[in-house]
Amino acid sequence: MRHFQCGLLALALLLDLHVAKAATDGVFFDDFDYADTAALTRGGWIIRDKQGHPGIENGHWGAQAISLVDTPQSGKRLLRLSARTDGTPEGTLQAQLCHQRKYFEGTYAARIRFSDAPVQGPNGDLVVEAFYTSSPLQHDFDPQYSELDWEYLPNGGWGNPNSRLYSVSWQTVQMEPWHAFNQTHEEQRALGGWHILLMQVKDGSIRYFLDGVQVDRHGGRNYPALPMSINFSLWFSPSGVLPDTTAERRYEQDVDWVLHVRDRVLSPAQVDAAVSDYRKNGVHQVDTVAPTTPPLPSNCDF
């Protein structure tokens, strides 16, 4: 009987270890507690420096648009994206940061501060503040293209003057002339300030949550087809640049943390608890999400 009880105890311990391992495998968490952008890139992040879509044609992207800032009130660091323009390609700098292309099903979440107005210059440009996952668009109507977006437009645009937050699930697209196949939801209101954006991607369904409340559910042909990168960006739409001014305008978007848990659906409360646990224990980055075999390129140019 004693041997039987010992066997059960050993089995229970093995099961506990298995559950603990399952809970830590396939997790990516980052709260951007880096000394500088060089350390940020060593953490697997890629700072975009290539011209191209989206944004002002021939505008610039680069390391000057990405910084890490202290928050004296909380003692934490934040990722800051800064974009500026004077309305010309030469005077435009836009921001994009990407992590490796190895993320697919599971839970994605980030805490982000959106801006309703520039920190410098006149207001009114069509500026886009984004958190999204994506795989490359290799050609028009590429059936393998995958992208899940949160895009905040504080000054409206694209035929609608209202401030709004898009959640968009893409099937495919043709850039010129524009012809898109996607599913969208719009929160038609100003959302400047801090928010938690969450996506549950599992079993053909994509659920979008804003500050703990589900706002929409997508799926069908818009469900991702391939592993994606995790990205943040801040850019100007050429269709909404302020006319008749060359004054420089500068916008900022801050990111507190980002989390992905592979293959598991976490509720907003479970995400909050996981992030609180990491921070309580002084854990600033976890990356146990294995790369694809072979690893997929992460170009950070879209």
In tens, the pLDDT along 209-265 reads 999 999 999 999 999 999 999 999 999 999 999 999 999 999 999 999 999 999 999
The amino acid occupying position 206 is: I
Q: What pLDDT score does 21 carry?
A: 44
Contact 144, 226 (CB under 8 A): yes
Contact 137, 145 (CB under 8 A): yes
Distant-in-sequence, close-in-space partners of 212: CB < 8 Å, separation ≥ 6: 196, 198, 268, 269
CATH topology for the 25-287 domain? Jelly Rolls (2.60.120)
Sign of CA dihedral 148, 258, 21, 270: negative
- Kindly give the parts of the chain with pLDDT less than 50: 1-22
Q: What pLDDT score does 228 carry?
A: 98
Q: What pLDDT score does 6 carry?
A: 41
Question: What's the CA gap between 156 and 99, in Å, rounded?
Answer: 28
Question: What's the CA gap between 257 and 153, in Å, rounded?
Answer: 21
Q: What pLDDT score does 75 carry?
A: 75
Q: What pLDDT score does 23 carry?
A: 57
The torsion angles phi and psi of 256, rounded to 5 degrees, stand at: -85, -45
Question: What's the CA gap between 28 and 210, in Å, rounded?
Answer: 20
Q: Looking at 84-159, list the stretches that DSSP marks H as alpha helix, in order from N- to C-terminal side.
A: none
Distant-in-sequence, close-in-space partners of 269: CB < 8 Å, separation ≥ 6: 212
Neighbouring-strand partners of residue 59? none
